[in-house]
Copies of this chain bind each other. A is one copy, B any other.
Amino acid sequence: MPRQARSSHVTLTGNADCIHCPIRSQTILAAVSNEALNQVFESIHDLSCAPHSLLYQAGEEGDAIYVIRRGLIKLVQYLPNGSQRIVRLLKPGDIAGLESTVGQTYRQTAVALHKTQVCRIPISAIEHPDMPHSQLCQQFMMLWQKSVEEADHTITELCTGPADARVARLLLHPSLHVENGYFMAIGREDMGSILGITTETASRVIADFKRRGIIMATPSNQRTCRYDNSLLRQIAYS
């Protein structure tokens, strides 16, 4: 059963400093000139999200997109029967709430998995007359394409095959990858919601992987885990 957010907090860090943003070149704002950016600058905000905090909820009027700068966001969809399913994981560089740019309400609920930093860019900023629409359009197309690809990847890799293969593929997933040989730790319940298996099964598979030495806890950092790439791959792709 879905649990309600408890200590959830989204705090306004302040105005975003897009001009000096180190990852701007990797976002949709890459194509926007400093001059244009100055026009919309004030409406763009830097947010800090505590674990379990909500960026937005499914059904809300979509008035902004969110660029993930740090951490992980899950897009959760609730089913008619009350259970939930995680549809996508968003990592730094990804964008949440794209549907708001085509006038849609948010399709899923966006929840921070870890402590997360995001940039909130209101639709009004995107549609500002000084913004380079044609270039932005190209950028958005690419983002859409990426979303579809990611969703298709979820269907083919994370919803297919036995539980151990799914878990292995999830651990190999780029969103969880931090550096070579390490991945982000992720709760068993979330794991289950992504893979369409129960928490217990996820736990059993992970426990088994640990026993077999395929993954091992990193004592120094609780948030990451070390793994044996080739063994994981073998399990993931029989």
Contact = CB atoms under 8 A, between A and B. Distances in A.
A149 B196 contact: no
A148 B137 contact: no
A11 interface: no
Contacts of A104: 145
A127 to B, nearest CB: 12
A196 B195 CA distance: 12
Contacts of A102: 141-142, 145
Q: Which DSSP category, helix, strand, loop or mixed, fits chain A's interface?
A: helix
A157 B140 CA distance: 27
B237 A81 contact: yes
A80 to B, nearest CB: 4
B79 A152 contact: no
A87 interface: yes
Given A141-B140, A196-B160, A152 B238 contact: no
A133 to B, nearest CB: 7
Contacts of A134: 133-134, 137
Interface in A143-183: 144-145, 147-149, 151-152, 154-157, 159-160
Interface in A55-100: 77, 79-81, 83, 85, 87-88, 98-99
B77 A107 contact: no
22 contacts: A79-B157, A79-B160, A83-B160, A85-B155, A98-B148, A99-B145, A99-B149, A101-B141, A102-B141, A104-B145, A107-B152, A108-B152, A133-B134, A134-B134, A134-B137, A141-B141, A141-B144, A144-B144, A147-B148, A148-B148, A151-B155, A159-B196
The 9 A-B pairs of least Cβ separation, nearest first, read: A144-B144, A151-B151, A159-B159, A80-B237, A137-B137, A85-B156, A147-B148, A77-B156, A87-B152
